Structure 1
Amino acid sequence: MIETHAHIYSDDYAEDRTAMLDRAWNAGVEQIWMPNCDHETIDGMLELAEKYPGKCLPMIGLHPTYVKEGFEKELQIMEEWLSKYEFIAVGEIGMDLFWDVTFKEQQEKAFLYQCRLARKHDLWIDIHSRSAFWETVKLIEDFADPALTGIFHCFTGTLEEAQRAIELGFKLGIGGVATFKNGGLDKVIPHVDIEHLVLETDAPYLAPVPFRGKRNEVAYIDLVAQRVADLKEMNKADVIAATTSNAKSMLKKVAQ
């Protein structure tokens, strides 16, 4: 399996990070893709990338909830890193209007700027979109570059939203919410072709049932795979094979 989105550099794993990663490898995870948040998360992320070459792969980007006054300086840091280090994607970037809309305009500017960086470096984007799906879609439409592609991380939307994301050339990152009783994805996943899905945990957040409410970890991706298999009435091994292939198709600048 490929874990397409996990914050394994998080302080939540300060006491048992190595053991947590060992559980992931033992569960059949071959790669973990690490999204960045802001300049403060870069060092911890790259330390893991260097410690586990080819297994822990980093992205670079400014998370929308970290977009504040002076965000331009953060974007400059991201751009500088893109010129000197090999990243698999620009992310996680996007829009988050769930908690606060104070910096909505700045989030839009940051997103479009990072879309340009992604195209400049021939990378895909990892999208965080919370309470802002259609706002994010409009920005992608305004950007108007059909070569821009990526993943809508932690997709929890409707079938209509899933279809629009796919039409735009994006894959859907499916995580622990798929296992929630009222998560809504039981009405979506059965109607979306497996070729458009990739697996993730968003660890340490959004742990799947039966660990909901507790610290999430990468090994739990196996529970996500099983839930997708159940919803699509497929064999879990086939789900894993397909989603792993889908993930590998995203990699352009690193060995698969």
Structure 2
Amino acid sequence: MIDTHAHLTDRQFSTDLRDVITRAQNAGVQHIICVSESLSDARNVLRLSSEYERLLHPAVGLHPQYISSLSEDQLYSEMSEIRELIDKQSSVIAIGEVGLDFTPRVLSLAPSAEKAKHTQRQIFDSFLEIAQRTGLPLTIHSRSAGHHALTQVCEANAETPLTAIMHAFDGRPVYAVNALKKMPESLYFSIPPSVVRSSSLPKLVRQAPLERLLLESDAPALPAVARERNEPKEVVKAVEMIAAVRSQRVDDVRQQLLYNTVRVFPSLAINNP
């Protein structure tokens, strides 16, 4: 199994990260893609990934919540340095976590909700352009903005093809299905352990082709049991739930998800731990 989205630089892992990684490997997780939320986090992700270079792989990006808290000068500076990291660090395997977050709490971080939305859309466009230029896939946050994020992705893809992973998609499944018709070969949805207690994710798992699904933990968030700390090893529960929802064998589902992930990240097919 491959965990396509985890936050292992989170302070919740500051005391037992080595044990967390060992448990993931014992559960059958071969690779973990570590996403970043800010410039400083991106640097931490790069350092951590270099320590576990055959297991952890860095994704570099700015989270929309973080973007909404920055001044224009700060945002310009961080975007410039993020671009430089993406261009110069050959180990970067994806762009992320990027996207849109239209929840009231996040929008309130900016001078106005409209300002927050405009800035988020503008920066998301910049990351889409970087993905098109570099060929790197994006891992995309879209809380309370699923339809908006998918529209932006599909419009960009119509101009220049790109690969996008919608992380823990909370939008209506019909939006996902419609977007998949526009991007049938390059749009994916990563499913976290919280699928076992979600009302919407099982509907997406049922309606989307299995070939368009991936695994993620989003550790330490989105656990199978609410309010527990999540870990990469928990992707096993996502596999089991996907199989149950689709009435398929767990081993068959696991193998297809692995194949899907290697299609998005071909280097992981040869860089085994």
- Normalising by the smaller structure, the TM-score range is over 0.9
CA distance in 1, matches of 2:167, 2:202: 17
- Paired AA for residue 187 in structure 1: K
Instruction: Let me know the Cα RMSD of the aligned residues.
Output: 1.6
In the alignment, structure 1 residue 164 sits paired with structure 2 residue 178: yes
CA distance in 2, matches of 1:90, 1:61: 6
Counterpart of 1:125 in structure 2 is 138
Counterpart of 1:58 in structure 2 is 58
Counterpart of 1:220 in structure 2 is 234
Counterpart of 1:189 in structure 2 is 205
- Paired AA for residue 18 in structure 2: T
* Displacement of 1:52: 1.2
- Paired AA for residue 194 in structure 2: V
- Residues 193, 158 of structure 1: CA spacing in aligned structure 2 closer, same or farther, 3 A cutoff? same
CA distance in 2, matches of 1:183, 1:198: 19
| Structure-1-length-normalised TM-score | 0.93
Gapped runs of 5+ residues in structure 1? none
- Residues 54, 12 of structure 1: CA spacing in aligned structure 2 closer, same or farther, 3 A cutoff? same
Alignment counterpart, residue 217 of structure 2, candidates 201, 206, 221: 201
* Displacement of 1:120: 1.3
* Displacement of 1:146: 4.6
- Residues 108, 89 of structure 1: CA spacing in aligned structure 2 closer, same or farther, 3 A cutoff? same
- Contact conserved, 1:123 with 1:252, CA < 8 A, in 2? no
1:20-169 alignment, distance < 5 Å = 20-67=20-67, 68-70=70-72, 71-86=75-90, 87-98=92-103, 99-101=105-107, 102=113, 103-143=116-156, 144-167=158-181, 168=183, 169=186
1:57-106 CA deviation, whole Å, 9 max, x = no partner?
A: 11111111111323121111110101210211111111000123331111
* Displacement of 1:255: 5.9
* Displacement of 1:157: 2.9
In the alignment, structure 1 residue 11 sits paired with structure 2 residue 16: no
Bigger fraction of residues in helix: 2
Counterpart of 1:232 in structure 2 is 246
- Paired AA for residue 94 in structure 2: A
CA distance in 2, matches of 1:135, 1:186: 21
Describe the SS at the equivalent of 1:190.
helix
- Bigger mean CA deviation after superposition, 101-110 or 24-33: 101-110
CA distance in 2, matches of 1:195, 1:142: 22
Alignment counterpart, residue 196 of structure 2, candidates 175, 179, 201: 179
- Paired AA for residue 123 in structure 1: L
- Paired AA for residue 187 in structure 2: F
Describe the SS at the equivalent of 1:116.
helix
- Paired AA for residue 65 in structure 1: Q
Describe the SS at the equivalent of 2:171.
coil
Gapped runs of 5+ residues in structure 2? 108-112
1:121-152 CA deviation, whole Å, 9 max, x = no partner?
A: 11111110011112112322442335112200
- Residues 187, 251 of structure 1: CA spacing in aligned structure 2 closer, same or farther, 3 A cutoff? closer
- Contact conserved, 2:42 with 2:59, CA < 8 A, in 1? no
Q: Identical aligned pairs, as a percentage? A: 28
* Displacement of 1:201: 1.0
- Residues 150, 140 of structure 1: CA spacing in aligned structure 2 closer, same or farther, 3 A cutoff? closer
- Paired AA for residue 100 in structure 1: V
- Paired AA for residue 248 in structure 2: M
